[in-house]
Amino acid sequence: QVQLQESGPGLVKPSQTLSLTCTVSGGSITTSYYTWNWIRQSPGKGLEWVGAIAYDGNTVYDPSLKSRTSISRDTSKNQFSLQLSSVTPEDTAVYYCARDPWVGFGMDYWGKGTLVTVSS
């Protein structure tokens, strides 16, 4: 079974960069045609898709976050990562990584999520 696990600091100061890593087991992040996604959830905004990296390394982001977002991967570790710069308290959320077996199909595997709080 595919498992995803988020990791990274739970507290980030405003204006700094939020960095998270998703470690994948039971499946390869390079297998066609999976996409590997970051989604966040907050009381104010609900579920919000942040961006994704595809099996071939191509990336796509929520246009409202694109200027601050970078998703990368380390295929040797079967990991992909999120960097969100210039954070504000509105970026406080539970961050999830998830797999989509085909673009637009729907997430079939999720990590349990990790809470990131942006606060001074």
**How do residues 25-72 score in pLDDT, each as one tens digit?**
999 999 999 999 999 999 888 999 999 999 999 999 999 999 999 999
The pLDDT tens digits for 105-120 are 999 999 999 999 999 9
Give the number of other CB atoms < 10 A from CB of residue 70: 16
Q: Apex CA 45: angle with CA 40 and CA 50, to 5°?
A: 35
Task: Using the predicted structure, report yes or no on whether residue 103 has a pLDDT greater than 90.
Answer: no
Q: Give the pLDDT band of residue 88 (cuts 50, 70, 90).
A: very high
Per-residue pLDDT at 53: 98
Per-residue pLDDT at 45: 86
Q: Apex CA 51: angle with CA 94 and CA 2, to 5°?
A: 70
Identity of residue 60: V
Within 8 A by CB and 6+ apart from 106, the residues are: 100
Average pLDDT over residues 80-90: 98
